[in-house]
Structure 1
Amino acid sequence: MLEWLLEWDRNTFVYLNALGIEQYDVFWSTVTKITTWIPLFIFFGVLIFRNFSNRQALFVILTVLIMVLFVTTLTDLTKEAVARLRPNNDEGLNTVIRILRSPTGYSFFSGHSSSSFSITTIVFLFLRKHIKWVGLFYIWPLLFALSRIYVGVHFPVDLIVGALVGIFSAWLFYRLYHILIVPYLRLNRLE
């Protein structure tokens, strides 16, 4: 089964990567950069501070930052343990695919996917009762993750597993916030 999955992964990557059109290279190269999304992160922060008290908002932001550190560490450790070559570094692939980026690290699982889905999911969980349209934020991780196929640096399974890790991590840290932080905030409000 693993061989079948890896073959599907490879074939799907080659197919999707080949759909790239040169006129869109600048767009996808911009989408794949983390710095492009800094205004969105600022917007997330503004929404959190608008919908929670300053004290709660600080704890929410701190929870998000600790979660990002956790997800990044987990991603890096997994990449080193699995040591799967990126498509752009795979000699059997790099001559038949479009490559717009050339990172040298390992591929499994995608840090872009895990971090973007974790941030979006935890922001969604915190804001879903306050903002009806918060689900639209999922456009970001979808574009961000798909850009990794377009630029030639991640297989679909890297992105899918990264997204699942990110979503689960967000749920976990959201639960931890409610178990550890909410009682603390209530206790201090009574004093």
Structure 2
Amino acid sequence: MIEELVKIDHQLFYAINSGCSNVFFDWIMPILRNKYTWIPLYIIIIAAAIKTYKLKGFYLVLFLAGAVGLADFGSASILKPTFNRTRPCNDVSVQANLISRVPCGSGKSFPSTHASDHFAVALFLITIFYKKWKVILPVGLFWAASICFAQVYVGVHFPIDVTFGMLFGSLVGFIFAKLFLKFIPFAV
């Protein structure tokens, strides 16, 4: 069962990493998965929350930071050392057919911390603001999913890594949003 799952994971990896290869993706995917690309967006979210909602906006930012912090810590410091899965770019069984588009790094692969962190942000904001802005659902999911896709495309994660990271981060973001709404009277 596990061997079959790993086989499917590798097939999906090659389909994305090699099969989707094109000049546009070669340019945009390393940018999408770069953590520094999104700093302006985070600054805008923080500034808009505090400007619009004052003290409640400050608490919103604290809860959002807590969600990202827990998603990041749980993924990078608890789950990755527990599962100890090698990144595709460091895995000798896939290196021959791998297209590496960014430096590999020495960290482990499962789960993807990029996926955990970005889905924590997305689900937190979707849960808080969906009633007011329905468009946040497809935009938030597309944004976070594109970063997950980029992680596979550039060769640093397998699809299962980003899928589990997505699920873990989504759960953390959703729980923190529900806690925020429970403890901070907030109406958008």
TM-score by length of 2: 0.89
Which of structure 1's runs of 4+ aligned residues deviate more than 6 A?
none
Q: Report the Cα offset of residue 130 of structure 1.
A: 2.6
Write the letter of the residue equivalent to 2:122: T
Matched, 1:17 2:17: yes
Using the TM superposition, give the Cα deviation of residue 45 of structure 1 relative to its aligned residue in structure 2, in angstroms.
2.4
Structure 2 unmatched runs, 5+: none
Name the residue aligned to 1:39.
40
- The Cα of 1:174 is off from its aligned counterpart by 1.5
Aligned to 2:178: 175
Q: CA deviation at 1:47?
A: 4.0
Structure 1 Cα separation of the partners of residues 126 and 24 of structure 2: 33
Whether the 8 Å CA contact 1:120–1:137 is kept in 2: the answer is yes
* 1:115-153 deviation line (CA, Å, top 9, x unaligned): 101101101111122323222122211111100111101
* Shift of residue 28, structure 1, vs aligned partner: 1.1
- One-letter amino acid matched to 1:156: P
Larger Rg: 1
The residue aligned with 2:2 is: 2
- Partner of residue 152, structure 1: 155
CA contact (8 A) 1:64 1:122 kept: yes
- Correspondence list, 1:53-68, <5 A: 54-68=54-68
Pair 1:83 & 2:84 matched:
yes
* 1:49, distance to aligned residue in structure 2 (A): 3.4
Percent sequence identity is: 25
Q: How many residues align?
A: 182
d(CA) in 1 for partners of 2:108 and 2:172? 21
| 2:126 aligned residue | 124
Instruction: State the alpha-carbon separation in 2 of the partners of residues 142 and 21 from structure 1.
Output: 19
CA RMSD of aligned residues (A): 1.7
2:116 corresponds to which residue? 114
Amino acid corresponding to residue 173 of structure 1 in structure 2:
F
Is the CA contact (8 Å cut-off) linking 2:67 and 2:176 kept in structure 1?
yes
Question: What SS is found at the alignment partner of 2:105?
Answer: coil
Query: Which is further off, 134-143 or 148-157?
Result: 134-143
Query: Retained in 2: the 8 A contact 1:109–1:161?
Result: yes
1:172 is displaced (CA, Å) by: 1.1
Partner Cα distance (1:23, 1:143) in 2: 14
The TM-score normalised by the length of structure 1 is 0.88
Retained in 2: the 8 A contact 1:51–1:130?
Answer: no
Are 1:70 and 2:70 an aligned pair? yes
Cα pair distance change 1:173/1:182, threshold 3 Å: same
CA distance in 2, matches of 1:82, 1:127: 35
CA distance in 2, matches of 1:32, 1:123: 20
CA distance in 1, matches of 2:124, 2:69: 14
Contact 1:79 1:109 in 2 (8 A): yes
